[in-house]
Amino acid sequence: MTVTDLTPDTPAAVFAGLLGADRVVPGGAEASAYLRDFSWYSPVLENALADTTVDAVLRPATVEELRACVATAARLGVPVTLRGAGTGNYGQSLPLQSGVVIDVRGIAGVLDVQPGRISVLPGTVVKDAEDAALAGGQELAVMPSTYRISTASGFISGGSGGIGAAANGDLWDDNILAVELLTVEEEPRTVRLEGDNVRPVLHTYGTIGVLTRIEMRLVPAHEYTPLIVAFRDFPALTAFAFDLVAGDLHVRLCSVHEATGAAMLTPIAGLYSPGEDVALLWVDSGDVAALRERVTAAGGRTIDWSAKPHISQFPFSHTILWARKAEPTSSWLQCEYASDRGEFLAQVAALRDRYPGVFLQHVEFATSAGRTRPLGITPLVGLPDHEESLEELIAFCRELGLIVMNPHSYVVEEGGFVGDTAQVVELKTTCDPHGLLNPGKLGDSFFTARGLTPPSARAATARR
C-alpha cells in the first residue's frame, strides 16, 4: 500500500499533504524497519514490543517541516514518537500506542562551533559533530559508542554516557549545555533550556518535547592510541583500571572484561590468550609509555591494537551484542558499583563468588565531580529465567550496595536516570499538554498526585 492509496482522512494521507507522499511511509510492512531497535537484547522486551504498530512514519527534512508535523499531530490528537538511528536498547523509540513515528535523520547539520561548545540539528550524526569539533582542535566531551550512526537527539534522549565518560562524565555532568525543543500544541512554541534545566530531557526517551537544537560541550582534542591490557587476575585488573581512571593519565575509554566475556569479543579475542581478563583502553598517545610501565609493574601485559574493527565496536552495550552472538540465550543487567575503591573491589569479589560463569563482569568507568564511577553492563549467561532468578540476582546486587538499572523495562523510571520528578512533570505538562509524546514510557508514577520521587531517581540524583 502507498500513501496515495489511502483515504484522504487517514493520518498517513494528511501528513503526505504536508511533506509529500515520498516522505511518508504508511503503516504495515513498509514501516517495519522503523519499529526495530536493539531491545531484543532483552528476552522480556523482545516479547513485550513484538506487536508494535504505527499509522505512518514521517520523514521531515527541516525544522519547519517538523514543526508542521507536530502541529498537525496535536490538532488530530495523534501520538508522536521521535526516532533517530534506532540504536537504543530499551525500546526508547518504539511506540506503545499506534500513531506516527517521526524520523529526524533528515534534519541534520552542524549549526555552530565555538570554544567549548558545538550546536547541531537533532538528526546530526554524532560522528559528524565530532569531526567538526576536531577540525578546530576540539572533541566531544562524551559521545555514544555508536557515534558513527547515532543522532545527537537520540543520544541525549535515550543514552547516558559513552566514550569520553572516563575523563568527562556522562550526560548529567554538564556535557549537554542547552537544547531547544518544540511544544506539542496546535501552535508549537520553541522552548530553550540551559544548564540544570536541561536535565528533564536527558534519557527520558523523547517524552518531554521535540528537540530542534542540541548544544554539546567540547574539550581540547587529544591524539589517541587504542590498546589492550591483559591480566590473569580479575581483581588485580579491576584495581588497576580504577586507579588508572582516577590517576593522572588521560584515558578516554576504559572498558574492563572478565575472561569469559572477553572471549566472546570474537574479532579481537585472538589478540589475547584464553583465560586472560582484559581492559580496552583509548589513551592519550603521549601517555602510552607511562601506561606500559604501570601495566608491567602491576603484573599485566600491554597488547597493541592490531584488529581491523575500531575499538568503539566492543565497549558499553556492544559487549551485549557480542555475548548474544556467542550465547543466543544470554541476557544482561546494568548496575553501578560503589565509587569507593575498597567497596568496589569487595563487590567485584562477592559477585565472582556468588555467580561464577553467570554474571560476566564488564565494567565501564566514568568520572563525575572527581569521583570514579564503575558502571556494570553485564552479560548474564545461563540464568534460568527472567522472573525469580533475575529478581534474586538483582536483590543480591542491591544487598552489596550496587545501584541496579533494569534494562528489561521500557519505562524511563526503571532505568534510574530521571532525577527530579517534579521538574520532569512540570516541563512535560508545559511542553506536551495533551500527553502525545511517546505515551506510556514515563510510567504512571510521574502523573500521580503523590508528589514522590521514585527510589531509582533519588539514587540517580544522589550520585550526581
pLDDT digits (tens, 9 = 90+) for 171-217: 999 999 999 999 999 999 999 999 999 999 998 888 899 999 999 99
Burial of residue 176 (number of CB atoms within 10 Å: 0-12, 13-18, 19+): buried
Over residues 429-455, the mean pLDDT reads: 63
Give the tens place of pLDDT for each residue, 2-46: 555 545 567 788 888 889 988 988 876 676 666 666 554 566 656
What average pLDDT score do residues 70-85 get?
Answer: 90
pLDDT, residue 10, reads 77
Nearest to 118 by CA among 48, 29, 194, 218: 218
How confident is the model over 428-434, as a mean pLDDT?
92
Dist CA 289 CA 302 (whole Å): 10
User: Which is higher by pLDDT, 72 or 158?
Assistant: 72
Q: Which domains does the chain have, with CATH numbers?
A: 3-105 (3.30.43.10), 107-220+418-440+450-463 (3.30.465.10), 224-405 (3.40.462.10)
Q: Which of 133-147, 169-183, 357-371, 399-413 has the lowest mean pLDDT?
A: 399-413
Strand locations in 56-189, DSSP E?
56-58, 80-83, 100-103, 110-114, 117-120, 138-140, 176-182
Q: In DSSP terms, which residues pair with 257 in a beta bridge?
A: 278, 362
Residue 450 and residue 343: Cα distance in Å, rounded?
35
C-alpha cell at 379: 552479560
Position 448 scores a pLDDT of 39
pLDDT tens per residue across span 126-137:
999 999 999 999
Work out the average pLDDT over 104-111.
Answer: 96
- DSSP H helices, 20-125, are 43-48, 63-76
- Kindly report the three-state secondary structure assignment for every residue of 291-352: HHHHHHHCCCEEEECCCCCCHHHCCCCHHHHHHHHHCCCCEEEEEECCCCHHHHHHHHHHHH
pLDDT, mean of residues 261-269: 96
Of the listed ranges 30-34, 148-152, 277-281, 392-396, the one predicted with least confidence: 30-34
What is residue 247's three-state secondary structure? coil
Amino acid at 318: H
Q: Is the pLDDT of residue 94 over 80?
A: no
Residues 337 and 400: their CA atoms lie apart, in Å, by 9
State the virtual CA torsion across 451, 456, 460, 463 in degrees, nearest 10: 110
The Cα 291–Cα 285 span in angstroms is 10
Q: Which stretches of 81-228 are DSSP H helices?
A: 126-134, 152-158, 165-168
Instruction: Provide CB contacts within 8 A for 351, sequence distance 6+.
Output: 359, 361, 397, 400
Query: What does the alpha-carbon distance between residue 61 and residue 107 come to, in Å, rounded to a whole number?
Result: 5
